[in-house]
Amino acid sequence: MAVIFDGRAHARMEEDIIRTRVRELKSQYGIFPHLVTILAGDDKASKIYTRLKKEAAERVGIIFTIRILEANATTKEIKDFIKEKNKDSNVHGIMVQMPLPKNIDSKKIVKAIAREKDVDGLRTNSPYIHPTVKAIYEVVEIAANSDKTSIAVVGAKGMVGGKTAQFLLDKSYSVAGVDMDTKDKVKMLKQADIIIAATGRAGIISKDMVKKGASVIDVGSPKPEVQTDVSQKAKLITPVPGGIGPMTIAELLKNVIIASEKTIDIANPTA
């Protein structure tokens, strides 16, 4: 049976480190890390994720402001709000909870966020790694047996899957991009030491797609992409909920701290 990776425990350890860094920023430099999140529409999952991020931010002492907008909000309305926060030196990170309502141009919204405040790593030139990618990488580093570990990313054409595949390639891992329409996808998956499921489709990874002793990283949200019987063959598996999700939030908050620390010289020229 697989070891069930405890993402919540891992996130709690990260929060302890973040909390210490927040205290130092406040006491030594008078900097109060501040994240602004935009929540538009009535997507139930988005509301849950935003609440979880707010709770985590409050646990570590990060100011968390939510701008709630109706589903009929316009692209211009959101862009104007972002531009206002871009100019606010007391705001260190800006993010938009995805998905946005269909009437809003997501690409224009992401581009409106100042590069130095894009803590969600959505801009192509963002200085920050996407928090989910960072969370996945943390588990890959734990699960990998050697530098010859082979990884299959299911959903490599998607935003998270694509960013993950490229990041792992940059780290010199052997990576294969697999999508549900990929020819011989089952054969490719059964050759992988680590399978990363990031398609947004529930229950797509079954036991017959996984070789014995492989590790399976489920990025499913809000429902798991990996069927429960996979645990009979896998060595390690990340659960949904309680796996990558809590770790992603911790990595987001770490990016906020990095963004805050970059302003030390501005706030304290003699520091």
What integer pLDDT is reported at residue 134 of this predicted model? Answer: 98
In tens, the pLDDT along 183-203 reads: 889 999 999 999 999 999 999
CATH of 29-114, one of 3.40.640.10, 3.40.50.10860, 1.10.520.10, 2.60.120.10: 3.40.50.10860
pLDDT in tens, 139-198: 999 999 776 899 999 999 999 999 999 999 999 999 999 987 888 899 999 999 999 999
Greatest CA span in the chain, whole angstroms? 61
For residue 251, give every residue at least 6 positions away whose Cβ sits within 8 Å of its Cβ, in sequence order, or none. 14, 129, 131, 132, 134, 135, 138
Are domains 29-114 and 131-245 of this chain identical in fold? yes
Q: For tokens 């425990």, name the residue.
A: 9
**Domain ranges in the chain?**
29-114, 131-245
pTM across the whole model: 0.94
The CATH H-level (homologous superfamily) assignment of domain 131-245 is NAD(P)-binding Rossmann-like Domain (3.40.50.720)
pLDDT at position 270, please? Answer: 42
- Quickly state the pLDDT bin for 100 (edges 50, 70, 90): very high
Cross-strand bridge partners of residue 81: none
CA dihedral 67, 135, 265, 64 (to 10 degrees): 20
Question: CA–CA separation, 52 vs 241, rounded Å?
Answer: 12
